[in-house]
A = this chain, B = another copy of it.
């Protein structure tokens, strides 16, 4: 199945302090009603660095059971050491995950291009499933160089990238200069329409948790050549990001709860929103949703 479309980077529901498989399945069922093309489990929005190993298997199994075969299922498998990432890749493959998101490791390898190259090539050689690079400077505090992305893109087991850079240019270059079948996903909610208009395969964002309808509307409008609609909805998405982006993933959980999903609470040290923040986030979300009538 070709990697494409709108894929929410799903929140992981922590309820009573534990990753809750049943809530995960309920949420997936709700997202399926919005027309999304698949799901990413254990993205940054999924609080993956806070998960215990035993929770990973539970959630993967639950998600796999809830996601129809004709929908895409990706999982974040990045860890700091090559060995642990490989362990997660094998586990994901065993659970029927189609491809893996591998975030750039953060602690020692920031700015170390040679270590980055070896990391991804070692994984690509050994992984039972294809890999998507995951570049997310908001969390890692660095950018994988585009030159290295283009080099890694030549490996047959490196299938694409989720690029959450603020620099929209990156996605354009990765599409234009990468191999034909290298799947570029915009991870920046402000760049979904431009990226799709210029040839990106799709978008994987935190925001697709709370506004999947808007993201799908942008995707469909671009597919249909109706760029004016795509641009109009993008403005609504960008305004929402402007208003609640700084509140982080706790705002997504608050809005999902308001929508009737079961997101649970963020895990410590992330803090839930205050009542005021929550009211503000919900109001901003309601305004944004009017863009799809």
A residues near B (Cβ < 8 Å) are 17, 44, 47, 49-50, 52, 80-84, 105-110, 112, 114-116, 118-119, 122, 139-142, 146, 166-169, 172-173, 175-177, 190-191, 193-194, 197-199, 225, 227-228, 231, 234-235, 238-239, 241-242, 248-249, 267-271
Contact = CB atoms under 8 A, between A and B. Distances in A.
A246 to B, nearest CB: 10
Nearest to A87: B52
A20 to B, nearest CB: 15
A119 B50 CA distance: 13
A172 B194 contact: no
A248 B191 CA distance: 25
Contacts of A50: 80-81, 83-84
B198 A172 contact: no
Given A110-B141, A197-B231, A176 B271 contact: no
B198 A234 contact: yes
A176 to B, nearest CB: 5
26 contacts: A17-B83, A49-B107, A49-B108, A50-B81, A82-B268, A106-B141, A107-B140, A108-B248, A108-B270, A118-B268, A118-B271, A122-B268, A167-B190, A168-B190, A172-B234, A172-B239, A173-B242, A175-B235, A176-B239, A193-B194, A193-B197, A194-B194, A194-B197, A197-B197, A198-B231, A225-B227
A139 B141 CA distance: 10
Given A118-B269, A267-B81, A269-B116, A235 B198 contact: yes
A127 to B, nearest CB: 14
Nearest to A191: B168
A227 to B, nearest CB: 3
A236 to B, nearest CB: 9
A271 to B, nearest CB: 6
B177 A239 contact: yes
Contacts of A173: 238-239, 242
B115 A242 contact: no
Contacts of A176: 235, 238-239
A203 to B, nearest CB: 14
Given A49-B80, A142-B141, A228-B225, A249 B108 contact: yes
A190 B267 CA distance: 38
A191 B248 CA distance: 25
Contacts of A146: 242
A112 to B, nearest CB: 8
Nearest to A50: B81
A49 B118 CA distance: 18
A175 B239 CA distance: 10
Contacts of A110: 139, 141
A257 B185 CA distance: 39
